[in-house]
């Protein structure tokens, strides 16, 4: 069995590979792709795998964009943090899904389902799924809880400058406070935030659009400077530049 992984978070992709090797030792992972652009090129130059594991939200778009115009004949298991309405759409169209953070037992169940019924979703089903996702108005989280001396303190979105991932996840406020978040992963946070307000500039930082002071070009991509009281700059890879410019504009 050959498996293609489409996932822009290196640690998540690595964990997926580890679980797949443990569950299916004979399986061959043909590639791990991190963007819509990479996936389009890969499918243009390679035969289709037996199975695709694809994250929905990628750095330069959504993975559905890869499949809309391609004649994909292999099954797809999507990984997602989307809401219950979207999950109903997955089931309606016989497309399997895994909720992040991905549980190995759920992955195993998805592989068993693949083996029992390897019929691929048709292009019409994918377009129908897109319709469902776009039709349902998404409600985003408006306040978050910070941990302060054994107390939970609510922080509203307008108070947040950015989130950072160190050993733990922290909320940085517009007034310069650094507060401990009660969330465990940046993927989880990203799924809860309004994408018109927040952008994942790199693996460690989710930034509010109003906290950006200026952006400069570097040999690696872009450097994002935040407004006072913050003075440090956040580095962004070339892969995210196009999506970031569209978001910022």
Q: Which CATH architecture has domain 2-134?
A: 3-Layer(aba) Sandwich (3.40)
Instruction: Print pLDDT tens along the chain (249 aa).
Output: 999 999 988 888 999 999 999 999 999 999 999 988 899 999 999 999 999 998 887 777 778 778 777 777 788 888 876 555 455 545 544 457 777 778 899 899 889 888 877 555 544 555 565 555 555 555 788 888 888 777 888 999 999 999 999 989 999 999 999 999 988 788 878 878 888 899 999 989 999 999 999 999 988 889 999 999 998 889 998 888 888 888 887
Phi and psi based region of residue 176 (left: phi greater than 0; alpha: psi -120 to 50; beta: remaining): left
Query: Helices 123-135 and 84-92: crossing angle, nearest 10°?
Result: 160
Query: Cβ contacts of residue 27 below 8 Å, gap of 6+?
Result: 1, 2, 3, 20, 21
Cα dihedral value 126, 39, 219, 226, nearest 10 = 20
Indicate the domain borders of the chain. 2-134, 143-248
C-beta separation of 201 from 224 below 8 A = yes
The residues with which 57 forms a beta bridge, in sequence order, are 62
User: What's the pLDDT score for residue 132?
Assistant: 58
User: What's the pLDDT score for residue 89?
Assistant: 47
User: What's the pLDDT score for residue 95?
Assistant: 58
C-beta separation of 182 from 191 below 8 A = no
User: What's the pLDDT score for residue 66?
Assistant: 81
User: What's the pLDDT score for residue 238?
Assistant: 84
Alpha-carbon distance of 79 to 55, in angstroms, equals 5
DSSP state of 189: H
CATH topology of domain 143-248: OB fold (Dihydrolipoamide Acetyltransferase, E2P) (2.40.50)
């Amino acid at each position: 069995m050959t498996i293609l992984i489409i996932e822009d978070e290196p640690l998540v992709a690595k964990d997926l590979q580890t679980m797949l090797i443990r569950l299916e030792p004979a399986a061959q992972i043909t590639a791990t792709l991190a963007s819509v652009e990479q996936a389009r090129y890969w499918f243009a130059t390679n035969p289709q795998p037996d199975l695709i594991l694809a994250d929905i939200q990628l750095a330069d778009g959504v993975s559905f964009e890869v499949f809309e115009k391609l004649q994909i004949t292999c099954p797809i298991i999507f990984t997602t943090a989307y809401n219950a309405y979207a999950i109903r759409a997955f089931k309606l169209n016989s497309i399997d899904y895994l909720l992040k953070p991905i549980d190995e037992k759920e992955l195993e169940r998805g592989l068993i389902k693949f083996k029992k019924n390897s019929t691929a979703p048709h292009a019409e089903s994918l377009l129908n799924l897109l319709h469902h996702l776009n039709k349902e108005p998404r409600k985003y989280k408006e306040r978050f809880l910070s941990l302060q001396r054994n107390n939970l303190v609510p922080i509203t979105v307008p108070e947040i400058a950015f989130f950072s991932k160190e050993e733990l996840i922290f909320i940085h406020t517009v007034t310069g406070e650094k507060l401990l978040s009660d969330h465990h992963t940046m993927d989880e946070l990203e799924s809860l935030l309004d994408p018109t307000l927040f952008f994942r500039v790199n693996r460690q930082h989710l930034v509010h659009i109003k906290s950006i002071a200026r952006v400069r070009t570097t040999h690696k991509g872009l450097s994002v400077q935040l407004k006072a009281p913050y003075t440090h700059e956040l580095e962004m890879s070339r892969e995210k530049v196009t999506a970031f410019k569209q978001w910022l504009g």
